[in-house]
Structure 1
Amino acid sequence: MDRPDFYRFHQGSRVLPFAPAEYDARLAGLRSAMAEAGIGACVLTSMQAIAYYSGFLYCSFGRPYGLVVTATDSVTVSAGIDAAQPWRRCHGDNITYTDWARNNYWRAVRSVAGEGQAIGYEADHLTLAQKALMDAFLKPAACIDIAPASMRQRMGKSPAEIALIKQGAEVADAGGYAIRVAIREGAREIDVAMAGRDAMELEIARRFPEAEYRDTWVWFQSGINTDGAHNPVTARALQQGDILSLNTFPMISGYYTALERTLFLGQPDAASLKVWEANVAAHEYGMSLLVPGASCAEVTEKINAFLAERDLLQYRTFGYGHSFGVLSHYYGREAGLELREDIDTVLEPGMVISMEPMLTIPEGQPGAGGYREHDILVITDGGAENITGYPCGPGFNILG
């Protein structure tokens, strides 16, 4: 029996979230960076980079995947277990590698990248073990980290990306409204979270009938479970007087959006209301600072001063916002566009960024709990467009 190292298996109609011209433009940008760095071939391995340049979002299950880009070719490399699905969901060519022999993945990559070239790779993703295999199979003349250049390219969104992100923000709002309806005393966090997730998945399917559906989720937290931004859902039952945190995260073809809001089940006490109103004020002030020409560090320092004046800065736990686009809770983000003291990136039209201040008051102190608001803004020539619609603050979010 002839058992090949790799082969091409293409069947069915191709369906992608963007037009071919969108991917061609992205690849042109990558090839420009390659030419500037003297790179002959790029071997991209992260979910975010492969999805950005090809549209294909892989499911690894312990297997390596890749996208090889040269001056003329763009080829995804996928495992045989996926059959033709990667080809149907990618722009460019696709090669399927087999597991009849160890390291057939790298043989497939070599068939496109060749040997002896300067190779671009993602140093923040490729493991040491896979890097050693890349060196053995491709015998690169040089290895150059392309990840920073790729990240910079992804930070500026095309009109098509912004249109998709706006739809995602509307889906996040729909999930928020469904959660609001589901909140009641005695309901479990998981029950409320499922209501929001189901509403979003149905809305995504309505808006994008040809898409693949996966990865949409909700974090709905109550009481002490609100103290961290990424605390998983539990089976805790809601009680009168609880502080609540609503967090909806629709995923559309690898594009993540979010809505986050503080709520209370019943009237909050005076201390809680004071902290909540202060965080909402910081949120609104922060959004006013998101304009072209402002640096991430400058915005951060101004919000820091705002909170310090109210003796609340010590309760801040992380940065005030981050970029949006191809990202997820289990794969990459554009770390160069985050509202933190150590990020000097200057905001430009076409960037998409959140404003999401959070204050965590420890248990035992007045107003204990985690307070978080989150809107998504598109930087424009004259300022910023807020694409989040769900209302913020006590006027809408005191329930029961």
Structure 2
Amino acid sequence: MSMWCGRLLRAAGRGVQASWSRAASNDVATFRDINTMKFCNGQKMPTGLFTAGEVEGRITKLRETMEHEGIAACLFTSFHNINYYSGGFVYCAFNRPYCLIVTPEKHVIVSSLVDGGQPWRRSPHDNIVYTDWKCDNYFLAVVEELGEVRGSLGVEYNHMNLDINRSLRQHLPHRNTLVDIGQPTTRMRMIKSKEEIAVIKNSMATAEVGGWACTEVLGEGVPEYEVALAGTQAMVRNIAKIYPNSDLMDSWVWFQSGINTDGSHNPVTSRKIQKGDNLSLNCFSTPQGYNVSLERTCFLDHCSDAHLKVWEANVSVHKKGLQLIQPGAKCSEIAHELSDMYAQLGLLKYQMTGCGHSLDVLCHRYGLEAAGLALHEDSDTVLEPGMVVSMKPMITIPEGQPGAGGYREHSILIINDDNTVENITSFPFGPEHNIIKK
């Protein structure tokens, strides 16, 4: 039966006991009178991507880490950790704070009433809701759930802003010491479980479904947004088929043409594709927050000699990078070797970013993981089994120069338990495949 769960609720200067069943809702306080509440509307939903055992295993490992580090409770605020430790709840902030509280006994999502009962349905455990009618209601909910917790409170310094940090300190009744749990949990998430790897593989296959849908519709005079729409629709439909119990959100395509290819994250426009255009195909499949991307350089109909020279050079760097991703390799050493290769090709000054990064909880709304598993020259992480990393060399030649435009190829590799490396991206790359004739 759908109902709002009864609990002692904080109202203006008094406690209000509310049993928010549909039949009785007119006989109790309004939402405006309530600061915190439970909103158990409907039934708990089946896990979208992962088994209950997978999610509980993550929580158990977290609690073991907390005990080892002497952390009494964790207060996660990032999309990444809330998703990871809830098994699939991706909040929509709209300038409202959210968190997940984990103690040795509790696992509670704190969410805004604007989301109704959906956070409770998506949580494997508990959920407390705060209303918007008073500005500090979020912190009332946090303090209520932390209860008599004393000692260190783990927070994510790589996500928590100064206002939230300051207000949290003011509201904590026991003046708990705040310690960083952001970097330790990022390192924990670098090693993927078998279920995570299965999801990443399915997501990669879905991105390729989107890629092929894009190539089907692109042609001379077709605007970028029409190509992007075709790819996005194909990916969403495929995710719905593979994961019928998942939330369908945040999969997208950036399809760029001509000068719009100069930036990796340039938005889709109404520019119409022309023959000879440099094209950048970027399909981001994101089943319930677990993102992978397919990125390929393409040309429509033909490719000039100047463009072909640059494209082939970048493809050679991509191929070299695929060879360098091996267990025991250091991220910084891979980055340095590829930078040296760009220098030898005379293209180092056109390199736009590092050559790869980790994959899991990711979106254009909430970004990549924190620093760690990234192919940058200042990252000393050593690749090991269970890691998933991309190879993504990118260069941009400025407008007005021969071969002007952006070039990038993106493949995803898994380091398996037996130390083999598996490239899970099968969509072809390079001039022999992606000069598209229409």
SS in 2 for 1:253: helix
Residue in 2 aligned with 1:281? 316
Secondary structure, counterpart of 1:87 in structure 2: helix
Determine the structure 1 residue equivalent to 2:355: 320
CA contact 1:244–1:264 (8 Å) conserved in 2 = yes
Distance across 1 between alignment mates of 2:388 and 2:401:
36
Alignment partner, residue 141 of structure 2: 108
Aligned: 1:373 with 2:405: no
Which residue in 2 is equivalent to 1:255? 290
Distance 1:78 1:43 in 2: 13
Give the secondary-structure state (helix, strand or coil) at the position aligned to 1:258.
strand
Decide whether aligned partners of structure 1 residues 100 and 241 sit closer, same or farther in structure 2, where only a CA change above 3 A counts. closer
2:98 pairs with 65, 81, 93, which one? 65
Checking the alignment, whether the CA contact within 8 Å between 1:255 and 1:325 is kept in structure 2 is yes
Select 2:64's aligned residue among 32, 49, 70.
Answer: 32
Give the TM-score normalised by structure 2: 0.89
Q: In the aligned structure 2, how far is the partner of 1:59 from the partner of 1:97?
A: 15
Cα distance in 1 for partners of 2:412, 2:250 equals 19
Show the counterpart of 1:133: 167
CA RMSD, 1 decimal: 1.4
Gaps of at least 5 residues in structure 1 are: none
Superposed displacement of residue 39, structure 1: 1.3
Whole-Å separation in 2 of the counterparts to 1:266 and 1:94: 55
Superposition pairs of residues 73-92 of structure 1, within 5 angstroms: 73-92=106-125
Q: Aligned residues: percent identity? A: 49
Residue 55 of structure 2 corresponds to residue 23 of structure 1: yes
Within a 5 Å distance, the mapping from 1:143-158 to structure 2 comes to 143-158=178-193
**Letter matched to residue 287 of structure 1:** L
> 2:298, 2:351 → 1: CA distance?
18
- Structure 1 residue ranges, 4+ long, deviating more than 4 angstroms after superposition: none
Shift of 1:240: 1.2
Q: What is the distance in 2 between the residues matched to 1:205 and 1:376?
A: 23
Range with greater deviation from structure 2 (132-141 or 120-129): 132-141
Offset of residue 4 of structure 1: 3.7
* CA 1:83–1:48: 2 relative to 1, 3 Å: same
Aligned residues of 2:222 and 2:273 also touching (Cα < 8 A): yes
**Per-residue Cα deviation, 1:346-369 (whole angstroms, up to 9, x for no partner):** 111111111010111111211111
**Contact 2:214/2:231 (8 A) holds in 1:** yes
Q: Distance in 2 between matches of 1:383 and 1:309?
A: 30
**C-alpha distance in 1, partners of 2:65/2:337?**
34
Instruction: Give aligned pairs, total.
Output: 400
Higher relative contact order (CA 8 A, sep 6+): 1
State the one-letter code of the partner of 2:175: P
Matches within 5 A, 1:223-238: 223-238=258-273
Structure 1 residue 212: Cα displacement: 1.1
CA shift at 1:198, angstroms? 1.0
Residue from 207, 210, 217 that aligns with 2:242: 207
Q: Which has the larger radius of gyration?
A: 2
Of residues 94, 115, 127, the one that matches 1:94 is 127
Partner of 2:20: none
Instruction: Give per-residue Cα distances to partners, 1:253-301, cap 9 Å, x unaligned.
Output: 1100100000011221112111111111111110111111101101111
Amino acid at match of 2:225: I
- Out of 395, 402, 421, the residue aligned to residue 359 of structure 1 is 395
Q: 2: distance between equivalents of 1:332 and 1:360?
A: 22
Aligned: 1:49 with 2:81: yes
Q: Residues 142-184 of structure 1: CA distance to partner in whole angstroms, max 9, x if unpaired?
A: 1101100111111111100100010000000011111111111
* 1:6 alignment partner, one of 25, 36, 52: 36
How far apart, in 2, do the equivalents of 1:101 and 1:220 lie?
Answer: 43
The SS at the match of 2:226 is: helix
C-alpha distance in 2 between matches for 1:166 and 1:340: 24
Deviation per residue, 1:62-97 (Å, 9 max, x gap):
211110000121111111121211111112211112
**In the TM superposition, what is the alpha-carbon distance from 1:141 to its structure 2 partner?**
2.9
The letter for the 1-side match of 2:44 is: S
Q: Deviations over 1:208-247 (max 9, x none)?
A: 1121111111111111111111111111111111110000
